[in-house]
Chain A
């Protein structure tokens, strides 16, 4: 897969990017350079405070780099660790959030929301409220909300870290399917190396604001954690992680 992707144009490029937060002597990012190809599934891993969330914030436009160049599309959307759904709005209205912000006509909004609610398997729950849903269902709503604005890049900020193993595995499968269907560029921040290896084309390991290493994962899908090749890739990354 990464070989094919090399033919694609880059969706995101970081060139010597640095980030310093006021009042903090430690740089959050130090001359970070990498490229994410259009349609690639890219995963960021590393210990807490390594800068992976900072990269996501810069791509999303929530934050800006202190130095260096970033080239990225405007059309980005994000799925949050906590879901970040509005508790007073129905599943449908939550999914429609970005469309309403753009004053999309109601009919078109309904079409788009229906399409993505169906894609994440939540169409029957459109009129429920977030508090009536399970944790996994809420993350699906967050995913549909992000897809509904039809972004070029989909950012996922540890979206599965609060879920149980079974739910996480189901969501991995569905996310893979959605990636295949929509051909979006996906950037996933994860604290789980297994998750990264299960999903990504490439895994970027970060430490203390610098890129430690970028790993190509060439295993065919669906990837199974029990297979030797899978465990081998996980071990490779883990060795560098704890070095």
Chain B
């Protein structure tokens, strides 16, 4: 009995580390994202509709603000991409019919350049004066596919013994998703996300320099961010500003790589089958 108690207690202790308990899940999946979104909303209202700074007043402070605004848009787009991509991947995995229809469709959509496809959608956002929405939408469409394809791949390589064990030990559908499928694809979500962010950074310029899609618009329709600063400083011949912006971008991406992706890739190891 003493040992039973001991096990029980240390098991609870363990679950704190691995987000098993219900409370832990609520924090992980609800509270933290909510706080993140609140912070994001604040940043956007603070900087989001700010017009581009007047030259030659570009400072390091403005650039750091700009990169955080760009980062925030990427983060929102990424959150939506995850929320859409994972259920889509589960659906493709679950139903051979869905796979037959959706996978080729996604392949086509993924291969066509975002900007050839979506001027209409972007004009829709612009019509409702949601410039940020337009920018985030472009990023979302770019980021989503690598997560979908990566997770579908991850679901396909789950060992058949694991699936058999889940069935024999009586896991019901949601338990199966929660306890087996989702943990099993964690490494694939992470590699897919890495590619998604790489694609996202690649396309920040087009997601911010929106006036090119809007008939008769000028640079005042562009979104404030590191991408639009890069374009405008370059177009105006302000090479010094351009290089300052480039440095900020490179340093930021490098920091993200070291402090987020490297750590996540290491974290993914514990979810791999041998």
Q: Which residues of A does B touch, CB under 8 Å?
A: 60-62, 76-78, 80-84, 86-90, 92-93, 97-98, 100-102, 106-107, 110-111, 113-114, 117-118, 123, 126-127, 129, 131, 145, 149
Contact = CB atoms under 8 A, between A and B. Distances in A.
B274 A78 contact: no
B274 A87 contact: yes
A86 B179 contact: yes
Interface of B: 3-4, 7-8, 10-11, 14, 18, 20, 159, 161-162, 164-165, 167-172, 175, 179-180, 183, 186, 270-274
A88 B8 contact: no
B8 A98 contact: no
A84 B4 contact: no
Given A86-B179, A114-B4, A127-B10, A76 B273 contact: no
6 contacts: A84-B164, A92-B14, A93-B14, A123-B7, A126-B10, A145-B169
A89 to B, nearest CB: 8
A101 B169 contact: yes
A88 B169 contact: no
Given A97-B169, A129-B270, A84 B7 contact: no
B14 A80 contact: no
A111 B4 contact: yes
A186 to B, nearest CB: 15
B220 to A, nearest CB: 51
A88 B168 contact: no
Contacts of A123: 3, 7
Given A60-B168, A88-B18, 5 more contacts: A89-B179, A97-B165, A110-B4, A114-B4, A149-B169
Contacts, number: 90
Contacts of B164: 60, 62, 78, 80, 84
A98 B7 contact: no
Chain B contact residues: helix, strand, loop or mixed: helix
A77 B8 contact: no
A101 B175 contact: yes
A76 B167 CA distance: 11
A92 B167 CA distance: 19
Contact of A113 (B7, B179, B180, B183): B7
Contacts of B270: 87-88, 129, 131
A70 B241 CA distance: 79
A97 B168 CA distance: 11
B165 A78 contact: yes
Contacts of B14: 90, 92-93, 127
Contacts of A60: 164, 168
Contacts of B272: 87
B264 to A, nearest CB: 15
Nearest to B161: A84
A117 B270 CA distance: 22
A93 B20 contact: yes
A146 to B, nearest CB: 8
Given A81-B161, A92-B7, A93-B20, A61 B179 contact: no
A62 B170 CA distance: 11
B98 to A, nearest CB: 21
Given A101-B170, A111-B4, A86 B180 contact: yes
Contact of A77 (B20, B169, B172): B169
Contacts of A78: 164-165, 168
A84 B3 contact: no
A92 B11 contact: yes
Of the candidates A80, A113, A129, the one having the most CB atoms from chain B within 10 angstroms of its own CB is A80
Contacts of B186: 88
B167 to A, nearest CB: 6
Top-4 shortest CB links A-B = A98-B169, A84-B161, A110-B8, A84-B165
B165 A80 contact: yes
Contacts of A114: 3-4, 7
Contacts of B171: 97, 101
Nearest to B11: A92
A102 B170 contact: yes
A62 B168 contact: yes
Nearest to A149: B169
Nearest to A78: B168
